[in-house]
Structure 1
Amino acid sequence: MNKSLLLTGAMAFGLALPSLAQQPVQVKYANTITAEDLKERLTYLASDEMKGRDTGSEEQKVAAKYLADFYKKIGLTAPVDGSYLQPVDLVSASFGEISLKVGNNKLVNNTDFVFTGDGNMKKAAKTELVFLGLVTDENLAKVDVKDKLVGIWAVGVRSNDLVMKVMEAGAAGIVIVSMEGQANFDRIAGRYQSLAGKGRVGFDKPVEQRPIFMVSSDKMAELFNTPVEELKEAAKTNPQSIKAQKATYQIEKKVEPIESSNVMGYLEGTDKKDELIVISSHYDHVGVSSTGEIFNGADDDGSGTVSVTEIAEAFAMAAKDGIKPRRSILFINVTGEEKGLLGSEFYSENPIFPLDKTVVNFNIDMVGRIDYEYEKEKNQDFVYVIGSEMLSTDLKKILEYNNITYSNLILDYRYDAPDDPNRFYYRSDHYNFAKHNIPVAFFFNGVHDDYHQVTDTVDKIEFPLMEKRSRLIFYTVWDIANRENKPRVDGTNTRTDR
């Protein structure tokens, strides 16, 4: 709208235009969230000096101290018995010799197959590789899987459930095709190869003798001496027609403890201080490749982490001015997201504040870029919002109200679809709050060519857009922190089944 016409019309009718002093007070503090500040902090966290902030690395510890010092500087409370760090007990499991031989075909790790399971064996096991194909009760009745390696076809479905079903039927291990085409498999194998020699980070658990070898569809066909299309057809109802092959395999494993921490700053509320809002990101990434290339992780999730710090600073400034939120707010940067949502899982199992008093979790993971879907759009002021009405019909309405009032972003909900093949709802840290029936909203910019690549660097970040996204989250948190009633937990589609 033409500003001069608006001014003339207002004067003619004796109407006063809103002044800055008449704007809602939160606008003043939202305006402290700036592209310049975001860029300054991200330039440090995603620098080569930080070497990709791999979980448990010395550089991740430096990043943790940087974040803790920041929360202390802006006046937030250290909520973990006087510390800003919540130690997370993790281990690194490294696999030495992983061998797989089928017939006369000796397969090469991270080239012919990718090992995704668990196990530790003093000597090689000899068995048969049998073909099951699709994991159905009918096929399991036709194929004897007990103590065998079992070839399964799991393209386009949830393979974890299928693996468990086959293992519970007595299988010794799995050889799985989860995607079609050699090129797709080679990309996965290439990533595993680039990280070769680095241990798998996780919680300390007893070893499970559950070897799982992922192969391409072409390689599976080669192992069974059967063309791909014929193998796919047999996978449906006639798996017993595929001849079993002799197989030998061995896995060697070593486990070592590693130190890592969640980082958090706390702002206590006023009359509703027992109720808590959690704003989260993960500050780890995947470190350095076996050839020395740095995965800077600027978007994933340096962008979310510095967004959390900017939102925290805006609330801290308001608090110093005597404007504290009614509800308390926990700002948390979690560890181990890249290794399986470990830090947020640890917090949800060892909460600093009661989960039944946690009102909502806003999770910020990758908010600095423009994805494939919007790269050619004229209006690129968008953000994907995931899960905002899964558990609370109020939460999405509150978010949309604040967007219309202050931000005017495109809120894209396409990944809320129950049949979304990407399953983003399960793939970031909000999930560990949602599974405890805490309403969540996950803010995300979608996938781009630099996702999990060494090219995810600061120079690619869209800082003005990142500023808009961060301000929207700030406005929505401010609203929920100060309104009389918290969002109701009344959603009918919890989708907390992984």
Structure 2
Amino acid sequence: MKKRYLLAGAMAYLMSWQVSAQDATAIKYASTITEADLEEYLTYLASDEMEGRETGEKGQKMAAEYLVNFYKEIGLDGPVDGDYLQKFELANVKWGDISLKIGNQKLTNNEDFVFIGDGNMRRSEKKDLVFLGLANEENLSKVDVKDKLVGIWAIGGRAQNVIQDIMDAGAAGAVIVTMEGQANFDRIANRYKALSGRGRLGFDSEDKQQPVFMVSSNKMAEIFDSSVEELKEAAKNDPSVIKSQKATFQVKKNKEMVGTENVMAYLEGTDKKEEVLVISSHYDHIGIDSQGRINNGADDDGSGTVSVMEIAQAFAKAAEDGHRPRRSILFLNVTGEEKGLLGSQYYAENPIFPLENTVNNINIDMVGRIDYEYQDAEDQDYVYVIGSEMLSSHLKTINEYNNITYTGLKLDYRYDAEDDPNRFYYRSDHYNFAKHDIPVIFFFNGVHDDYHQHTDTVDKIEFPLMTKRARLIFHTSWDLANRDERTPVDGTNTRTDR
């Protein structure tokens, strides 16, 4: 409560000095962020020529080259031994054959189930399938899961944690429900089907015999010759009342290594140059769909990437005119976000600059559109702000002050809630900085009908609003790069597990 009053007081003080505290130099260079530039860059980055910027593919590499040439042209340095690319490899796993039969019923991959586990088997295996429901001590005391395929009801929980719990208890694998409703499952199954020919990208690791099959709640009931309500009741009270089934399954894996790269540009600071502010976006997208349609990714995340470009250019112009920031700035465009935040994870685990010297991460992912919540609103000048007060009591206040002073957007914090069912906090690259206790802000416009569709195109971008959002991010970054003290880490990271 005391902290809340202190922050409120700080905001009141900052608001009272709104006019006199405007920084004419910051305003001058913020004005170089223009609708025309953003549209020019995005028209190319989200063009068909980029083929949807799929990680490791031709279009992603063309986009990387475009970014590198831009950063060279505006006079920023390449921080990777003089280069602008942080190169690394990912394993592309393709499943040769995945089969699952329960009793006499043969299930179809990416229709009846989705494979979300790991494994590579020479021959099919036969196991008992038992229903456990919840992976708690009480249920585990009632159901023997050792060397069995285990039915799990994980709605509202984190599937990875549940799976690990039953594997630790000796299970051979899992059939798991993570959401209710056939329509929700069908959307995921259709996406897996569309991506099945490309494989699954991730960091290379040893094969784990951990077969995990995700099914809908309706299919789980059918498998156990029961109803959804009966399974829910059994999961809560006594899972042993659900009759076990016989299961036969096999998983075959093929793997090849794929090269990809993060793009980064560096502006060295002056008296506080050892401290680094990271401004990030992801420049990859989801490529070409199964029907041959290009997913241009204009909003996701072409909008964030060209915003980083314009912000970088504004700082570069300021430095050229003798207004170099006190702290250094790393402009970071990561790859592999759509595959599981892989590029930012690689950077965080292999940082070019020490993480202890990284003062903040400002992450920009989808800032070019108006979402469902605001599509009919009278005032559509908004942006969602996520994560800004978790690790530092100062960061949210600094961002709000710069918004009040310069841009006047509505800052919407609804998705900052820890119980946000969308889990947006966990779904972009700031996460890999925050988990290392680096204070972050994630700027976001929310989702719309074109999210992850081939219809996410440049003609639907709201460039005036996008410009205003980019200018807010510039002003907040200018403040963070030039203030006397770095933002303190005086909060606790309560969201460490995805």
Fold shared by both chains (TM-score > 0.5)? yes
1:328 counterpart residue number: 328
| SS of alignment partner, residue 253 of structure 1 | strand
Q: CA deviation at 1:409?
A: 0.5
Check the 8 A contact 2:363/2:443 in 1, yes or no.
yes
Query: Bigger shift: 373-382 or 470-479?
Result: 373-382
2:43 counterpart residue number: 43
1:167 counterpart residue number: 167
Q: CA deviation at 1:212?
A: 1.1
| Large movers: runs of 4+ above 3 Å | none
1:139 counterpart residue number: 139
Matches within 5 A, 1:310-349: 310-349=310-349
Are residue 471 (structure 1) and residue 471 (structure 2) matched? yes
2:251 counterpart residue number: 251
CA RMSD of aligned residues (A): 1.3
Distance 1:291 1:250 in 2: 29
Matches within 5 A, 1:219-298: 219-298=219-298
Check the 8 A contact 1:390/1:495 in 2, yes or no.
no
> Tell me, which stretches of 5 or more residues in structure 1 are unaligned?
1-17
Q: CA deviation at 1:270?
A: 0.6
State the AA in 2 paired with 1:357. N
Distance 1:363 1:494 in 2: 19
1:104 counterpart residue number: 104
Matches within 5 A, 1:322-401: 322-401=322-401
Distance 2:147 2:314 in 1: 59
CA deviations over 1:24-48 (Å, ceiling 9, x no partner): 1111110111111111111111111
State the AA in 1 paired with 2:449. D
1:303 counterpart residue number: 303
Distance 2:291 2:120 in 1: 27
Q: CA deviation at 1:496?
A: 2.3
| SS of alignment partner, residue 222 of structure 1 | helix
Check the 8 A contact 2:437/2:493 in 1, yes or no.
no
Check the 8 A contact 1:52/1:297 in 2, yes or no.
yes
Q: Percent identity?
A: 70
CA deviations over 1:246-281 (Å, ceiling 9, x no partner): 101111111111110000000001111111000000
CA deviations over 1:161-199 (Å, ceiling 9, x no partner): 111111111111111111111111111111111112111
Are residue 192 (structure 1) and residue 181 (structure 2) matched? no
Q: Report the CA distance shift for 1:274/1:23 in structure 2 as closer, same or farther (over 3 A).
A: closer
1:218 counterpart residue number: 218
Q: CA deviation at 1:291?
A: 2.2
State the AA in 2 paired with 1:205. S
| SS of alignment partner, residue 257 of structure 1 | strand
Check the 8 A contact 1:195/1:288 in 2, yes or no.
no
| SS of alignment partner, residue 42 of structure 1 | helix
| SS of alignment partner, residue 61 of structure 2 | helix
Distance 2:218 2:101 in 1: 16
Are residue 58 (structure 1) and residue 19 (structure 2) matched? no
| SS of alignment partner, residue 96 of structure 1 | strand
| SS of alignment partner, residue 175 of structure 1 | strand
Are residue 149 (structure 1) and residue 140 (structure 2) matched? no
CA deviations over 1:193-245 (Å, ceiling 9, x no partner): 11121111111111111111111111111111112222221121121111111
Distance 1:493 1:258 in 2: 33
Check the 8 A contact 2:109/2:115 in 1, yes or no.
yes
State the AA in 1 paired with 2:120. N
With the length of structure 2 as denominator, give the TM-score of the two structures. Answer: 0.94
State the AA in 2 paired with 1:191. R
Q: CA deviation at 1:23?
A: 6.0
Check the 8 A contact 2:435/2:493 in 1, yes or no.
no
Q: CA deviation at 1:157?
A: 2.0
Distance 2:275 2:335 in 1: 24
State the AA in 1 paired with 2:235. A
Distance 1:158 1:460 in 2: 35
State the AA in 1 paired with 2:114. V
| SS of alignment partner, residue 394 of structure 2 | helix
Q: CA deviation at 1:290?
A: 2.1
